[in-house]
Amino acid sequence: MRDIWDKGASNNDLHLYRSQQGRTLDPVDYIPNSEQRAYTRTAENEINNLFPRLPNPDLIMYVYPHQTRSGEPLSIPGYSTVLPFYGRVQYAQPGDRTRGL
């Protein structure tokens, strides 16, 4: 074992061995990730395609500046708030239309 360690090895030895045995390696032609993602089935893709989210419109309200009705009135500045129409996220069933005609 010590003799093998002392000799060392290099990539040239490996290349020479493979060429003598007729075992050359061709470079692999990989598909780019951007193209592969479009054709790959994942759980996320399946869920988004089968059960798309239905639109949940928001109601934007502006609350004008006002004072509290407690014993010592405090000034509250005006602010806006957003209220979704539906309390929960709604999903379409497979085959349901999610966009307008």
Span 19-65, pLDDT tens digits? 666 655 566 667 777 777 666 777 777 777 777 888 888 899 999 99
What does the block give as tokens for 87?
Answer: 């309390």
Residue 79 resides in a domain: yes
DSSP-assigned beta bridge partners for residue 67: 75
DSSP-assigned beta bridge partners for residue 61: 81
Residue 53 resides in a domain: yes
Euclidean distance between CA atoms 94 and 46, whole angstroms: 11
Euclidean distance between CA atoms 63 and 60, whole angstroms: 10
Higher pLDDT: 101 or 48? It is 48
Residue 4 resides in a domain: no
Write down the pTM of the prediction. Answer: 0.38
Residue 73 resides in a domain: yes
- Residue-range definition of the domain harbouring residue 68: 28-84
Q: How many domains does the chain have?
A: 1
Task: Assess contact for 60 and 85: CB atoms under 8 A.
Answer: no
Q: Report the chain's mean pLDDT, rounded to a whole number.
A: 76
DSSP-assigned beta bridge partners for residue 79: 63
Mean pLDDT calculated for residue range 8-15? 64
What does the block give as tokens for 44?
Answer: 């996320």
